[in-house]
Structure formats: structure tokens, C-alpha cells
Amino acid sequence: MIILGIETSCDETSVGILNENGHLLTNIVATQVDLHARYGGIVPEIASRQHVLNIEPVTAAALSSAGLKLGDISLVAVTYGPGLAGSLIVGLNFAKGLASSLRVPFVTVNHLEGHIWAAWVTTDSFSPAIKSVYNYEEKFHKPLLCLIVSGGHTELVLMHGHGEFTLIGETKDDAVGEAFDKVARVLGLRYPGGPEIQKLSIYADEEIEPFPRAWMAGSFSFSFSGLKTAVINRARDFGFYPYRTSGNRPEKRVLANFAKAFQDSIVDVIVKKTILAASHYDCGGIVMVGGVAANSALRNTLAESSKLPVYVPPVDLCTDNGAMIAMGGLMSYNYGSKSSMSLDVSPNLRIS
């Protein structure tokens, strides 16, 4: 069985292909980062029009890199939400056309569940330990705590088995990736800000006064907008924000110390709250997924601090990709799910 997964919920046009064991055959991602960089964030209309241009060539490139033909596809999986409506529509309609012309089943996937399923994908160089402990054919013996950290979401979700989720906490304002992107802009870094902040923080040479942590005590909710404001205020005090009015570019080390202190604050809050939640709900393990799960400080600190096993997909499968959607589609299909050709996109879809 060959599963082709299509992801177009935001600014990446991606097609991933897996076999029936969830083994990765290829994962092509056409990023639009350069198109949106000058705006400091995603412009929805530009994103959807670029998906229109990219979707067919990316599909052709994925098939060619896996040495497959269109006729080899046995299942088409596609993201139908949450995300930008105009972007989702391109992928969903392309998937419907592909599945109906090939006369193969078609399954829609919740993008957030797709991020979680990325942890089950095997690659030539990575065999996920989660697969043997959380066997997807059974109800889990203990809930798995899923930490979803991306540009649009920051959620703690209990996973009880296939398709059974309970949301236990989420951000009350900015998503964590959004905070990385906004703070990167304050520091004069390009979009997307997460990888830039991670790279810059390596050059930190001094522990500056820590930025605040919003603990949201008594709940598993998060809040990052106060942290963002604290960075802005201190950058203003240092005289380098906003650039255009001050014209004052600080030394790289000053920016690096800011970047590190900001990242430390994020990592501290996320790791401590996640570990607390895992113990509170008597979880058997923790899986961390989404674009921000690519962050090495977060990966290392969570793994070092947790007594429970921590599962994190390889970095390439953390950020948006088609392979995670193919994996979600394979799971749903194995559980008897097929989607209707009249299904619409669901931009505000939640996990439940």
C-alpha cells in the first residue's frame, strides 16, 4: 500500500509518501518563506496562490523521488483544518481530484493530529521507540501526553488511543511559535523566527536578567504575550527598538543574550508545565510535536528533565510536512475511516 499525504494548511506545500508500515519513502516541502519574509509573517492570499503554483510540481517531485508513478498510489490523505481557508482549499481540492481520477480512497486529516502522528513515522535512519510502546492498534494502557507547539498552537492534549483526545490546556493568547516569530522581529531577525533565535542564542556570552515566566498557576494553560511585551520593553530601554526610529543596531552579543534569555523563559515554562501535567494525569509518556519541537534547547531540556519516556519526531518531521498527514491518513484508514468527496475545509478545527 502506498499512501500519499498532502499538506497545505499554511505556507508550506508538502507531499509525503509512506508505505503501509508507516515507513517514509519521500517527503518534499516547498517553502514560501522568502515570499513572506519581507512582510514579517504569512500573507494568506499570497500563500494560497503559491500553493496553486506548487501543488502539482511538488506531487510530481515526490513521486519521482520515491521512484513511483501516479498509478502506484493506493490512498490519498490531506489536511482539511485547522489552517488558512484559502490554503487548505488548494490541497483539499487537489486531493479530491487525484483520488477520484485514480479511483482510490481519500481520507482527511486534522493537522494537529497529523503533527502527533509524525512521531510514529519510521525513516531509513530513525526507528521511533513510541511505536513499540504505544501500539496504534490498541487502546493505550496509560494516556500519552501530547505537547503540540507550533506557529498556530500551544496545546497539552491527552491521547487515550486512536482518535481519542482530551484537551487539557492551551495558550490564552499567542502560540509559542508566534512568540518566537514576533520576538525575532524585535531583534531584527528574519521570518520564521524560531530557527533564527535558536541559532543566535548560541552566541550568548552573559546571563542577563531573566525575562518573566507566566505560570498560569492552577491550570495547564499557557500565555506568552506578556513575555513578548517584556522583550519589547527591554529592547526599547536598550535603545534598539524600533530600529527604524532609533537607527541603533546593537552588537550581535547583545541580541544573542536577549535571544537566549527569551528562549530560556519559553523552555522553562513549557518543560515544567508539561512534566507536571504528565504526572497529574498519570501518563505513560510524553510526545512533543509541531514546528517548535525542532528547537534543540526544548528537546534537550524536556528529555533531561522528564522521568517518563519523551518521544520527539526527527526535526524535518516536526515542522509542517506531508508525511505526517500520510501517517494520520493511514491510521484513520486502518480504523475504517473514509472521507466524503463533499467535505469542506475546516479552518477552525480543534482536537477532541
d(CA 120, CA 179): 28
257 binds, among ligand KG4, Zn ion, none (CB under 5 to 8 A by kind): none
Under the binding rule (CB under 5 A), the answer on residue 87 touching Zn ion is no
Under the binding rule (CB under 5 A), the answer on residue 54 touching Zn ion is no
Under the binding rule (CB under 5 A), the answer on residue 154 touching Zn ion is no
Q: Interacting stretch for Zn ion, rule CB under 5 A, among 119-127, 149-157, 196-204, 296-304?
A: 149-157
CB of 290 to Zn ion, least distance (A): 6
Nearer to ligand KG4, 55 or 292 (CB): 292
CB of 11 to ligand KG4, least distance (A): 8
CB of 277 to ligand KG4, least distance (A): 20
CB of 111 to Zn ion, least distance (A): 6
* H-helix segments, 212-280: 225-237, 243-246, 252-280
Applying CB under 5 A, what is the total number of residues that bind Zn ion? 2
Under the binding rule (CB under 5 A), the answer on residue 79 touching Zn ion is no
CB of 154 to Zn ion, least distance (A): 12
Q: In this structure, what C-alpha cell is assigned to residue 350? A: 480543534
- Is the N-terminal amide bond of 82 cis, ω within 30° of 0? yes
User: Cα-atom radius of gyration of the chain, to the nearest Å?
Assistant: 20
Closest CA to 31 of 296, 321, 314: 321
CB of 316 to ligand KG4, least distance (A): 11
Q: Interacting stretch for Zn ion, rule CB under 5 A, among 201-209, 231-239, 265-273, 314-322?
A: 314-322
Q: Distances in Å between the alpha carbon of 243 and those of 40, 77, 188, 261?
A: 14, 45, 8, 20
Nearer to ligand KG4, 95 or 176 (CB): 176
CB of 283 to ligand KG4, least distance (A): 22
d(CA 272, CA 277): 9
Nearer to ligand KG4, 149 or 275 (CB): 149
- C-alpha dihedral over 31, 6, 108, 333, to 10 degrees? -140
Residues of this chain that interact with ligand KG4 (CB under 6 A) are 10, 150-152, 177, 180-181, 192-195, 198, 290-292, 294-295, 319-320
Nearer to ligand KG4, 169 or 290 (CB): 290
43 beta partners: none
322 binds, among ligand KG4, Zn ion, none (CB under 5 to 8 A by kind): none
143 binds, among ligand KG4, Zn ion, none (CB under 5 to 8 A by kind): none
CB of 177 to ligand KG4, least distance (A): 3
Q: Spell out, one character per residue from 316 to 345, where the chain touches Zn ion: x when CB under 5 A holds, - when not.
A: ----x-------------------------
Q: Residue 190 in contact with residue 196, Cβ under 8 Å?
A: yes
Q: Interacting stretch for Zn ion, rule CB under 5 A, among 39-47, 143-151, 157-165, 275-283?
A: 143-151
Residue type, 146: C
Q: Helices 296-305 and 252-280, interaxial angle, to 10°?
A: 40
Under the binding rule (CB under 5 A), the answer on residue 150 touching Zn ion is yes
Nearer to ligand KG4, 169 or 177 (CB): 177
198 binds, among Zn ion, ligand KG4, none (CB under 5 to 8 A by kind): ligand KG4
Q: Residue 186 in contact with residue 197, Cβ under 8 Å?
A: no
Nearer to ligand KG4, 72 or 268 (CB): 268
* H-helix segments, the chain: 33-37, 44-65, 85-102, 111-117, 130-133, 176-186, 193-201, 225-237, 243-246, 252-280, 296-305, 322-334
- C-alpha dihedral over 133, 139, 140, 143, to 10 degrees? 150
Closest CA to 293 of 322, 270, 272, 276: 270
Closest CA to 142 of 336, 350, 309: 309
Residues in contact with Zn ion by CB under 5 A are: 150, 320
